[in-house]
Every structure is written in C-alpha cells, then in structure tokens.
Structure 1
Amino acid sequence: MNQSRNTKSFGLTRRRFLGTTAGTALLVAAGMPGALEAAEPLKVAGIYTVPVEQQWVSRIHKAAGIAQERGDIDYVFSENVSNTDYARVMREYAEQGYQLIIGEVFAVEQEAREVAAEYPDIAFLMGSSFKQDEALPNFAVFDNYIQDASYLTGIIAGSMTETGNIGMVGGFPIPEVNRLMHAFMAGAREMNPEITFQVSFIGSWFDPPKAKETAFAMIENGADMLYAERFGVSDAAKEKGVLAIGNVIDTQADYPETVVASAIWHFEPTLDKAIAEVRAGTFAAADYGVYSFMKEGGSSLAPLGTFEGKVPQEAMDLVNQRSEQIKSGEFTVEINDEEPKSS
C-alpha cells in the first residue's frame, strides 16, 4: 500500500483552541472562564484513494489544513490508499484514537460502514453516493453538491461556444459527477437550447493522459468548448486552441487563455460543522451535502481572471441574476443524479 501520513504537511504551529470561534463558543456555554485553555485540538485523520493534489480531494485537504492552522484540529492523512486497504487504514486510525475520520468511500461503501459500526465512539464523515443510516449514528455522509456554481459556468460556456458543440469528460457516472454535468448542461441551454453535448467517462479518478485523449477525440468531432471534470482535459483544450470550463478548483492561472470559468467547491463549511458537532458531542448520522450549496458558502463561481470582460454581457447579467436568486432561494438548480448522455 502506498500510504503517506504527514502531521506537518502544512508546516503549521499549534495554537490554543481557546483562540478559535468554536473554542470561545464552548467556553461561554460552559460558563467556566479559562476552562478550555488546556484543551487539545481534535484529532482528525483523512483517508484518500488518490493523491491529495487531485482536485476533489484537494478541497477536503485544504479545509483540514485551514482548521489545523486555526488550532481546531491536529490533522494527519493517508493518500493513494487502495480500495482493498481502505477498511484496514480506517481501523488503524480508529485504534490510534482519532476522534474524526474523513475521506471518500464511493468504492467501499459497505466495508467502511462495517468498520464505523465497530467504533461507535468515533465520528466518521465520508464522501458517499448513498445517504446516512440512522442505525449507524456515528457515520455521516457528504458530497460536493456544487450544482449551483456548475449551472452558472454552463451559462458562460453556452455564451462562448461558436459551434454549439460542447465536450464533457468525467471520471465515473456516479451521482456527484452526474449532477454537476446536468447542472452545467442546463445552464448552457439557457443561452442556446440547441447546444449539443458529447459526454464520456474515463473510468478513473486520476488518469490525465486518458482524459486528454478523450478530449482530443471530442475536439476532432467538433467541440470548441470542453467541460473539464478531470485533470488532462484543459491540457487538450490548450493544445488545440479551444476553451474549457473548470470544476471544483480554480485552474485559470494555469490555463489563462483556456479556462474561462470554474465552479469551486469550498469544503470548509462542511468540515467546520462536523468539528463543532464532535466537540459538542452531538455528531450524528446526517447528510452534510447541504453545506456545499452556494447559499451555505460551500460553492462559488471562480473569478474570470483573463476572461474578465470577454464573456458576453447578456450571459454575465444572467449569471449575476441567477446568483442572487440562488442565494435567496428564489431559484433552485435541479439536482439530477442520473447518468448524462450525449446529444
């Protein structure tokens, strides 16, 4: 197993929990001035099946680093953990006394839940395609419900394509990918109902060469705009001189003439909620996916960077209008977890 554990991955120093918002809240609730001065940070472990540089996992890793910098948690992690080793690594961290274990169990749902059942006093917050089980109260689920921001990037893409042919490359057709693709497609059709889509899945979460080759084929088939759900797609767009839309992270600086816009996932609201619940002793089976919604601060449209002023004003006016409506609840982006198909 290629397992990497790193308690100093962010080069951070420990600060007293008393100085944090969560610490202050608990101090007030307890009514005991100074009672938490010696409180230890929450012990948190992350378990990831891909490198922490991979875009989806990088957002979890970043949020954990921010929480560690605040002094709220002590964070260690394992990356590149194979599916067959995942349950074993969960048990190792549980046996070592970690209080909150985070990760993604899309390919090991049953095994992960079985491990959680063995350690009822430990909180597990896991990326999952399934919902929580009330019979397993210490196992909560989340997913990147960033369909709001994805929809906005679709509006921009629909206004920028000249051929009306958009290529979309995804990892696997699972709900967390499907819903973002559908939201993007809905946004693009707001600008042009006649737009066609080429949709393909590469069967991997991290295979940039394969994603790149798939994107090349779509460009050959007429696409002048690509939805880069995976790494490698924007490289193909850059080489062929077409445009791309990013997903989960902002890569505009890396592809200044290629990536027009990106839907950004902010995991901080999700993790901060879990930390607070564990601290309060109220962590329970729940769906934390709601904290990825734009109105919760869990997603946003990245700055346009070099494309500022280059997107048609009609599209930007609609983006601004829809953004306000989404945040106020006046407009709801449909959540469609079905596998998207090519036009």
Structure 2
Amino acid sequence: MSNTRAFNRRHFLASTAATAVLFGAGPLAAAEVLKVAGIYTVPVEQQWVSRIHKAALAAQARGDIEYTFSENVSNTDYARVMREYAEAGNTLIIGEVFGAEQEAREVAADYSDVAFLMGSSFKEDAGLPNFAVFDNYIQDASYLSGIIAGAMTKSGNIGMVGGFPIPEVNRLMHAFMAGAREMNPDIKFQVSFIGSWFDPPKAKETAFAMIENGADVLYAERFGVSDAAKEKGILAIGNVIDTQADYPDTVVASAIWNFEPTLDAAIAAVQAGAFTAADYGMYSFMNKGGTELAPLGTFEGKIPAAAMELVTSREAEIKSGAFAVAIDDSEPASS
C-alpha cells in the first residue's frame, strides 16, 4: 500500500484521556497526555519499525500518549509529513530519517516547541536542541546469537543478508560474526546487501545463492531470508523480532530489539520539559533492557551445551559491565 498522506487509515487514538505527571517546566513540558506521531518509510509490519510501533502502542495503552502514524512515506515526502504532524499539534514526533537527514533537521528547526526523536546514522547537534537521535544498538544480543550460530553450523559457512551497509546494520553483523568465531575461529562468511529495507523476494533469492555456495546457517537481517532457509532445510538466525513460532524448524535464535526503554525515556523527558538534543542509542543496550535473546522455543535443549554455557556467562558479564561487545560500524565483507 502506497501512502504519502500525513494521516492514514490506521490511526490509533487513545480511548480515554489521562493526565501525565508534570516533573518540570519548559517549552516542551506537557500537562496532558502527549500527542505522538510516528512517520515510517516502510510498513509497520517491517521488523525494525514494528518494534517502534509496538512500544508506542504500549505507551498509548498505559494512557501516556495519543498515538497516530503514517507508513510507507517516501524519503522525498518525509519533510512534508513531518510538517503536517507538527502543525497538527503533536508534541513528540518519532520515526527514521536515514534517507532524509538534512530535510528532517531543517523541519525540526522550524518547530522548536516540538520534540523529534529520530532513527539516524548521525549524532545529535547541540544547535538543534529539540532533535534527538537513536539507532539500533542491539550488538549485545547479536553477539550472543552468533555464538549459537557458530555452534550450529556444520559446514563452517554462514550466509548473511542485510538491507544496506549503514552503521546500524554493520555493527550487528560484526557482533554476530564475532560471536560465531568464539565457537569456530575459522568460520567463513558470505555477506551481501540487497539495497532495500523491505524486499523479501530479493532477500530470498540472495539467500538461495548463498545456500548454493555452501552456507548451512543464514543470518536473517531482512525478511525473506528465513523463507529461503526453510525451503532448503537449513537453519537461520533472526534479527530484531522473534519469528521462531513462524519458523519452528528453522529459526534457532534471534536478537530482539525492545524500543520501550528508548521511547519511555523520551516521553519522560518531554513531560519533564527536559527534552534536548541527545543520543538515545544507549537505551538499546542489554543493560538497559533494550535487547535480549528470544526464547529458543523448539530449539531448547538442541544447542550444544558448551555454546549455551558461553551464552549464559557472556550475558551475565555484559549486564554487569565485565564484558563489552565491540561496536564496529565499518562495512563487513565476505571471508
């Protein structure tokens, strides 16, 4: 479904009014339920955006916000939709501006009384105090899922299909690869990017090629990869969402992104009149509750004990700060 309107048919409004606690004063302070708008360049079913959408719906269910959103907004139309939501009285606007960085920041500069929390490959700018950024820093769980993948591959050949080689994707791939090498330092990786955030057929075809080239485990950064693994009877590792129930014989483990800590921190800042330019990326870390391994489901008890012991110990070390997963934003390459 193509959608270039600011308000689409799937608006969600709070069913009851409530009053938010006011912790402070300032131009962005709000004494009532916050009006929050989401602007997404892909369908809300897409894994990355679905986690933002889920967190917003949870905040709405608590009575903290009134939430409306637009999906499938093109990068060329993004600034216009931002303006329409700002003019409509939304106090907080969330979304992802990876393909519209400059235009989005120009809009934010025109609406200093509106808070913007945007997924971005760039950092915050102190000169634009109402524009905060976040990114998908779930490298902790990606590393742990890599340990499991390294223990499950028999060929020592893992295929990895990503959307674009941007920092957010790159760091997850590198963390996954580091985890796999913990179990087998000689593992080979096939790495490919499909040039789209949502093209399951293309991701599937890319995965098929990797399987033909010897991969027996696939890293499913994009939709479509697990379908290829299922058809060919090999294993896959999920990313951002838990698809184990949909692929019970295929998806061994998944690194899950929980956007709730990020959004809740922004809501609290707006309510306190304290929202300012900041990098909210830290709220995606495991020690903030922003990422975790999904339940193993049908693969419980089927993963080598040595791998699960390492996962357990590393997870505890990550949470305590005794171990830090390296953040590498450079583009990964095939072995």
TM-score normalised by the chain length of structure 2: 0.95
**1:46 aligns to what SS in structure 2?**
strand
**1:17 aligns to what SS in structure 2?**
coil
- 1:233 paired with 2:225, answer yes
**1:49 aligns to what SS in structure 2?**
coil
The structure-2 alpha-carbon separation of the partners of 1:10 and 1:255, relative to structure 1 and needing over 3 Å to count, comes to farther
- d(CA) in 1 for partners of 2:318, 2:233: 33
Match of 2:314 among 311, 316, 322: 322
Residue of structure 2 equivalent to 1:13: 15
Residue of structure 2 equivalent to 1:303: 295
- d(CA) in 2 for partners of 1:241, 1:179: 28
Residue of structure 2 equivalent to 1:263: 255
- 1:342 paired with 2:328, answer no
- 1:179 paired with 2:171, answer yes
Match of 1:200 among 192, 195, 199: 192
Which deviates further from its counterpart, 39-48 or 297-306?
A: 39-48
- 1:100 paired with 2:92, answer yes
Letter in 2 for 1:2: N
- d(CA) in 2 for partners of 1:12, 1:235: 36
- d(CA) in 1 for partners of 2:216, 2:12: 39
May I ask how many residue pairs the two structures share in their alignment? 329
Instruction: Report the identity percentage.
Output: 79
Match of 2:35 among 43, 63, 73: 43
**1:172 aligns to what SS in structure 2?**
coil
Q: Would you say the 8 A contact 2:38–2:67 is kept in 1?
A: yes
Residue of structure 2 equivalent to 1:2: 3
- d(CA) in 2 for partners of 1:146, 1:185: 14
The structure-2 alpha-carbon separation of the partners of 1:11 and 1:237, relative to structure 1 and needing over 3 Å to count, comes to farther
Q: Would you say the 8 A contact 2:258–2:289 is kept in 1?
A: yes
Which deviates further from its counterpart, 4-13 or 40-49?
A: 4-13
Q: Would you say the 8 A contact 1:226–1:233 is kept in 2?
A: yes
Residue of structure 2 equivalent to 1:35: none
Q: Would you say the 8 A contact 2:14–2:65 is kept in 1?
A: no
Query: Residue deviations 1:170-211, cap 9 Å, x none?
Result: 000000000000000000000000000000000000000000
Unpaired runs of at least 5, structure 2: none
Residue of structure 1 equivalent to 2:242: 250
- d(CA) in 2 for partners of 1:11, 1:113: 27
- d(CA) in 1 for partners of 2:111, 2:12: 29
Query: Residue deviations 1:298-330, cap 9 Å, x none?
Result: 000000000000000000000000000000000
Match of 1:60 among 52, 57, 60: 52
How far does residue 2 in structure 1 lie from its aligned partner after superposition?
A: 1.1
Residue of structure 2 equivalent to 1:140: 132
Q: Would you say the 8 A contact 2:3–2:72 is kept in 1?
A: yes
The structure-2 alpha-carbon separation of the partners of 1:253 and 1:6, relative to structure 1 and needing over 3 Å to count, comes to same
Residue of structure 2 equivalent to 1:34: none
- d(CA) in 1 for partners of 2:18, 2:87: 26
Q: Would you say the 8 A contact 2:13–2:66 is kept in 1?
A: no
Letter in 1 for 2:132: A
**1:327 aligns to what SS in structure 2?**
helix
Q: Would you say the 8 A contact 2:93–2:117 is kept in 1?
A: yes
How far does residue 16 in structure 1 lie from its aligned partner after superposition?
A: 2.6
Residue of structure 2 equivalent to 1:191: 183
The structure-2 alpha-carbon separation of the partners of 1:138 and 1:249, relative to structure 1 and needing over 3 Å to count, comes to same
Letter in 1 for 2:15: T
The structure-2 alpha-carbon separation of the partners of 1:7 and 1:39, relative to structure 1 and needing over 3 Å to count, comes to farther
Query: Residue deviations 1:25-62, cap 9 Å, x none?
Result: x47x89xxxxxxx9531000000000000000000000
- d(CA) in 1 for partners of 2:42, 2:301: 37
CA RMSD, 1 decimal: 1.6
- d(CA) in 2 for partners of 1:141, 1:9: 24
How far does residue 242 in structure 1 lie from its aligned partner after superposition?
A: 0.4
Letter in 2 for 1:223: A
Q: Would you say the 8 A contact 1:49–1:80 is kept in 2?
A: yes
Residue of structure 1 equivalent to 2:209: 217
Letter in 1 for 2:44: V
Query: Residue deviations 1:92-118, cap 9 Å, x none?
Result: 001111100000000100000010001
- d(CA) in 1 for partners of 2:10, 2:208: 40
- 1:294 paired with 2:286, answer yes
Unpaired runs of at least 5, structure 1: 31-37
TM-score normalised by the chain length of structure 1: 0.93
Residue of structure 2 equivalent to 1:159: 151
The structure-2 alpha-carbon separation of the partners of 1:242 and 1:6, relative to structure 1 and needing over 3 Å to count, comes to same
